[in-house]
Structure 1
Amino acid sequence: MALPLARPHRVDVLIASVSLLCGVGLWALGLHAQTDRLLSSTWALIPLSVLACLSLVRRTAPRFALCVGTLALAADQFTNGNLASIMMYTDIVYAAVVYGSPAAARRIPVTTGLVTVAVTIGFLAWFQKPEAVLIGVLTGVISFAPATTGVLVRNHREAAEAARLRAEQTALLAEMDRVQAVSAERARMARELHDMVANHLSAIAIHSTAALSLDDPATSKDALAVIRENSVEGLAEMRRLIGLLRDQTGDLEPSAAPTLAALSTLIENARTNGLDVTLDDTRSPDGPKLPAPVELAAYRIVQESLTNALKHASPGRVTVSLTQRPRALTVRVTSPYGDPSGPRAPGSGAGLVGMRERTELLGGTFGSGPESSPDGTVWNVSATLPVAPADEGADA
C-alpha cells in the first residue's frame, strides 16, 4: 500500500498535536482507559504515538491510516490504554469514510456494523451476562458510529457539490441563452436597419452621383427632389427604428411594421428613383389574411430586391410577383442582369444574407442568382414563405 508523500493538512497537524498532548497528559495523571493488562501503562504511549502520526495522513491516505490504526488500537488493548488513542481512532474511521474512495465509503459502515454485532454476540456468549452487551455498545461507539457519521457528512458534501455543479451549469446555460438572444436581436436590428435605410441611401447615392456628373440644371433639380424625398423618408424610418429600440414592451416587431398593403407605395417610390417596376399580384382580395411576420418578411424581401436592382441591375424592367398557395406565399423579383450603364452604389452583400435569414426564420426556402429568360439573362430572387402549419393545410 503506497503512502503518498503529500504535505499534511494544517487541520490534521492540529488534530494530531492536540490529541498527542492530551494523551500524554492523561498518561502523566495516571488516567487510563482500562486496568489489569499484560503490559504496563508506559507501553500505551506507543499506540498513542502511532495513532497521532496516522492522524497526519487521515486526509491524504485514509485507507492506510485506517488499516494501521486498527492494528494500533488492537495492540492498545494489551496495555492500560489511553482515552486519547480511542478518540483518535474514531476520527480516523470517520476520515476514512469522508475522504476515502466511494467503495470504501460503502464498505466501512457495513464492516464496522458487522464487527459490532459479532463482538456483541461473542462476548455475550462468552460471559453469559447482560453486561457483555456494553462491550458491543462500546465497539459500536468506537467504530460504527463514526463510520455512519462519515457517511452522512460525505452524502451532504456530495449533494452540495452536485447542487453547485447544477448551479454552474444553469448559469452557463443562462449565459449561452443570453448571448444567443443578444446575437439574434442584433441580427434582427441589423436586418431592420439595412432594409429600412439602405433603399433610401442607395437612391440618394445614385441620384447625387448623377447630379454631380451631368451639367444639366433640370436633371440636377430632379435629382435633388429625389434626394430630398428619400432623405425625409429615410429619416422617418430611422426615427421609427429608434422608437423600436427604446420601446420597453418587449415586442418582437414594431407596431407600425409595414405590410403588403404598402407594397404599391414601395413600387411607386422605386419608380420615382428611376426603376421600371411592374407588380404582378395574383392573390385574391378575399383570400385569408397572412400572418404579420410573413407580410413583414415579404415586404422586406421586395424592398431589398428593389434596392439591389437600383444599385446593380442593367436598364430594363423589374418584375415583382406574388403568388399565394394554400400553405405558402411565393415572392419573386426579377431584374435585368448585366453591367449597369449609369452610376451605381456600392454593396456589402448583407442584403442577400438578410433576405435568407428572414426566410429561414419562418421555415421557408430562399434562392437567388442569374437565370435565362425569353428577355435574356435576369437576376432572380425567389422566397417561399409558409403561411400555415402542415397539419392545418392537410385538414384543409
Structure 2
Amino acid sequence: MTLPRPHRTDLLIALAGLACGLLLWSFGLYTTGDRVFDQRWAPLIPLAVMSAMEAVRRTLPLTALNVGTVALVADQFTNGNLVTVLMFTDVVYAAVVYGTPASARRLPYTTALITIGVTVGFLVWWQNAIALLIGVITGMISFLPALTGAVVRNHRNAADAARLRAEQTALLAEMDRAQAVVAERARMARELHDMVANHLSAIAIHSTAALSLDKPATTRQALTVIRENSVAGLAEMRRLIGLLRDSSGDTEPAAAPTLAGVDALVAQARANGGPSGLAFALVDARESATALPAPVELAAYRIVQESLTNALKHAAPGKVRVSLAREPAALTVEVTSPRGERPGPTAPGSGAGLVGMRERVALLGGVFEAGPATDDEGSERWRVRAELPVAASDEERV
C-alpha cells in the first residue's frame, strides 16, 4: 500500500520543530534532570520521532497521535526537550481537526479523563499542591489542544454546510429560473399559435383558391378574405407585442379574450369556411352569464379558436358544432367537425395546436380529449372536448 505524501506545510512544521529542538539541546536546555536515561543524546530520539509525526499530522493523524504519545512518554525518561512537548500539543490538535469524525468526538473526552486521572492519581500519591500543577500541565498539553481542535473542526463543518446550502440554493434558483423561462416560452408559443394560426390558415386556403381558380369574382372574394385576415392577424400580433412590453412602453396590453367573444369567432369561421362547404353553429347551454375565472375563460376561448382553425384546415364539408355547457364544478367545451375527404385547397398542420390545447387544460387541472368519434346518426366526426374545473371560491373572487 502506498503511503500518502506529507503535506508541504507539515514538512515545514516538522523541520522547524526539529531545528528548534536541536538548538535547545545544543545549549543544554532541558525540561528536567536526573532521569533514567541521562545521556546527552537521549532526548534527541523522542525529538526526532515527534518531528517525523509532525510531518504526517494531516495525512496520518491517528498514527501520528499514537506514536507521538509513545514518544512523549519516552521523553519523560530522559532529560526532556520543551520542543518535543510543544510538537505533541500540535499533533493532538491535528488529530481532532484532520482525523475521522468518530475520533474527533472521542479525543476531547478522552484527554479530559486522562487529565482528571493524572491529577487525582498524583494527589493520592504525593498529597500536595504539586499534583495540581502536574494536572494543569497535563491538561494544557492534551485536553486544551483537543478542545481547540474540536472548536475549529465544528466551525469548518458549519462553514462547509453553509457553503453546500448556498450551492444548493443557487442550483435550485437556476433550475427555477430555467423552468420559468421554459414555461414562459411555452406560454408565448401557445398564445402566438392560437392568435395567429387561424388567420394564416384562412389566408393560405383562400390564396390557394385564388391562384387555382381563374374567376375574377372568386379571386376578388378570396382577396377580400385574405385582407381581412391579414389585418386581424396583424392586430393580434400587436396585442401580443403589447403583452410582452414592460410598463415603460408606449403600448398598453389589451384585455385577455373571454367567452363573450366566441360569437365573433364562429362568425369569422363561418365567413372563412363558407366557400369550402362548412357551416358553423354555436350552442351555448350555460344557464347564466356569470363571469368565470380569467384563466378558465381564456383557455376556453383559445380551445374554441384553435378547434375552429383546425376545422377550416382539415374538416370535410358539413356542420361544425361548438358547444358550451356549465356544470356545478366545471365548464365543458366541445367542438365537433365532419371527417372525410375534403375538396379544394387545404392548409398543412403541425400538431402544435393540439399540444397547446392539452397544455392549457393540464395547467388548470382539467380533462382534455381529442380524436375521432361517431355522432347519433353514425357519421364520422372529429371531436375536441375539454372539462375546465371552476371552483366556487374562484367565482366569488372574480
Indicate the TM-score class for this superposition, using the shorter chain for normalisation. Answer: over 0.9
- 1:258 corresponds to 2:257: yes
Tell me which residue corresponds to 2:383.
380
Q: Secondary structure at the match of 2:239?
A: helix
* TM-superposition CA deviations, 1:229-285 (whole Å, max 9, x none): 100110111111111112359xxxx6511111111111111111124111001112x
Correspondence list, 1:273-352, <5 A:
273-274=272-273, 275-284=278-287, 286-352=288-354
Structure 2 unmatched runs, 5+: none
Q: Does the Cα contact within 8 Å between 1:368 and 1:380 map onto a contact in 2? A: yes
* Distance in 2 (alpha carbons) for counterparts of 1:76 and 1:350: 84
Tell me which residue corresponds to 1:247.
246
- 1:130 corresponds to 2:129: yes
By how many angstroms is 1:367 displaced?
0.3
- Alpha carbons of structure 1 residues 199 and 168: separation in structure 2 relative to 1, 3 Å: same
By how many angstroms is 1:326 displaced?
1.3
Q: Does the Cα contact within 8 Å between 1:48 and 1:85 map onto a contact in 2? A: yes
Q: Does the Cα contact within 8 Å between 1:337 and 1:378 map onto a contact in 2? A: yes
* Distance in 2 (alpha carbons) for counterparts of 1:248 and 1:152: 54
**How many percent identity over aligned positions?**
67
Q: Secondary structure at the match of 1:41?
A: coil
Tell me which residue corresponds to 1:17.
15
| TM-score computed with the length of structure 2 as normaliser | 0.94
By how many angstroms is 1:342 displaced?
1.5
By how many angstroms is 1:164 displaced?
1.0
* Distance in 1 (alpha carbons) for counterparts of 2:263 and 2:215: 31
* Distance in 2 (alpha carbons) for counterparts of 1:338 and 1:11: 84
Q: Does the Cα contact within 8 Å between 1:369 and 1:381 map onto a contact in 2? A: yes
- Residue identity matched to 1:117: I
By how many angstroms is 1:339 displaced?
2.1
Correspondence list, 1:218-229, <5 A:
218-229=217-228
Tell me which residue corresponds to 1:50.
49
Q: Secondary structure at the match of 1:43?
A: coil
Q: Does the Cα contact within 8 Å between 2:96 and 2:104 map onto a contact in 1? A: yes
- Residue identity matched to 2:72: L
- Alpha carbons of structure 1 residues 228 and 375: separation in structure 2 relative to 1, 3 Å: farther
* Distance in 1 (alpha carbons) for counterparts of 2:289 and 2:266: 22
Q: Does the Cα contact within 8 Å between 2:242 and 2:254 map onto a contact in 1? A: no
Which sits farther off after the overlay, 207-216 or 178-187? 178-187
Q: Secondary structure at the match of 1:42?
A: coil
Q: Secondary structure at the match of 1:381?
A: strand
By how many angstroms is 1:288 displaced?
2.7
Out of 334, 355, 358, the residue aligned to residue 356 of structure 1 is 358
Q: Secondary structure at the match of 2:42?
A: helix
- Alpha carbons of structure 1 residues 287 and 244: separation in structure 2 relative to 1, 3 Å: closer
- Residue identity matched to 2:380: T
Q: Does the Cα contact within 8 Å between 1:41 and 1:81 map onto a contact in 2? A: no
- Residue identity matched to 2:89: T
* Distance in 1 (alpha carbons) for counterparts of 2:246 and 2:188: 13
Q: Does the Cα contact within 8 Å between 1:97 and 1:147 map onto a contact in 2? A: yes
- Residue identity matched to 1:144: F
* TM-superposition CA deviations, 1:171-208 (whole Å, max 9, x none): 11111111111111111001000000100000000000
* Distance in 2 (alpha carbons) for counterparts of 1:388 and 1:128: 86
Tell me which residue corresponds to 1:174.
173
By how many angstroms is 1:132 displaced?
1.6
* Distance in 1 (alpha carbons) for counterparts of 2:295 and 2:178: 24
Tell me which residue corresponds to 1:209.
208
* TM-superposition CA deviations, 1:129-171 (whole Å, max 9, x none): 1122000000000000000111001111111111111111111
Which sits farther off after the overlay, 275-284 or 312-321? 275-284
Tell me which residue corresponds to 2:40.
41
Q: Secondary structure at the match of 1:379?
A: strand
* Distance in 2 (alpha carbons) for counterparts of 1:165 and 1:248: 38
Correspondence list, 1:67-106, <5 A:
67-106=66-105
- Alpha carbons of structure 1 residues 287 and 207: separation in structure 2 relative to 1, 3 Å: closer
Q: Does the Cα contact within 8 Å between 2:239 and 2:254 map onto a contact in 1? A: no
- Residue identity matched to 1:11: T
- Alpha carbons of structure 1 residues 236 and 392: separation in structure 2 relative to 1, 3 Å: closer
Q: Secondary structure at the match of 2:333?
A: strand
Q: Does the Cα contact within 8 Å between 1:313 and 1:340 map onto a contact in 2? A: yes
Q: Secondary structure at the match of 1:367?
A: strand
Q: Secondary structure at the match of 2:257?
A: coil
Q: Alignment RMSD, CA only?
A: 1.5
Q: Does the Cα contact within 8 Å between 1:97 and 1:154 map onto a contact in 2? A: yes
Tell me which residue corresponds to 1:28.
26
